[in-house]
């Protein structure tokens, strides 16, 4: 269990969703990163309290830069 209360076995990385799209499943909801020529967009339908896990995933798998847009 990590500091936000979501254990590692409750998350699944969703790699190769489509060109420029990756994701993370947290329990039963999904978060996606869509990369484009002007940066990336975070599409977040995650659970309350999962921001730390999403931030860590995005920095490791997408970019250390903040997303250009949040949806």
What is this structure's pTM?
A: 0.73
> Residue 2: is its pLDDT beyond 50?
no
> Residue 4: is its pLDDT beyond 80?
no
Q: What span, in angstroms and rounded, lies between the C-alpha atoms of 27 and 66?
A: 24
- Closest to 59 measured CA to CA, from 36, 40, 37, 38: 40
Burial of 30: CB neighbours in 10 Å, binned 0-12, 13-18, 19+: middle
* Distance of alpha carbon 66 from the chain centroid: 12
Q: What span, in angstroms and rounded, lies between the C-alpha atoms of 20 and 1?
A: 30
Tell me: the pLDDT tens digits for 8-63?
666 777 776 788 899 888 888 889 999 999 899 999 877 888 888 888 889 988 98
State the pLDDT at residue 7: 55
């Amino acid at each position: 269990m990590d500091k936000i209360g979501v254990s590692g076995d409750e998350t699944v990385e969703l790699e190769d969703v489509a060109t420029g799209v990756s994701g993370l499943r947290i329990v039963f909801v999904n978060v996606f990163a869509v990369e484009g020529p002007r940066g990336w967009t975070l599409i977040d339908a995650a659970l309350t309290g999962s921001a730390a896990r999403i931030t860590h995933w995005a920095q490791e798998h997408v970019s250390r830069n903040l997303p250009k847009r949040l949806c």
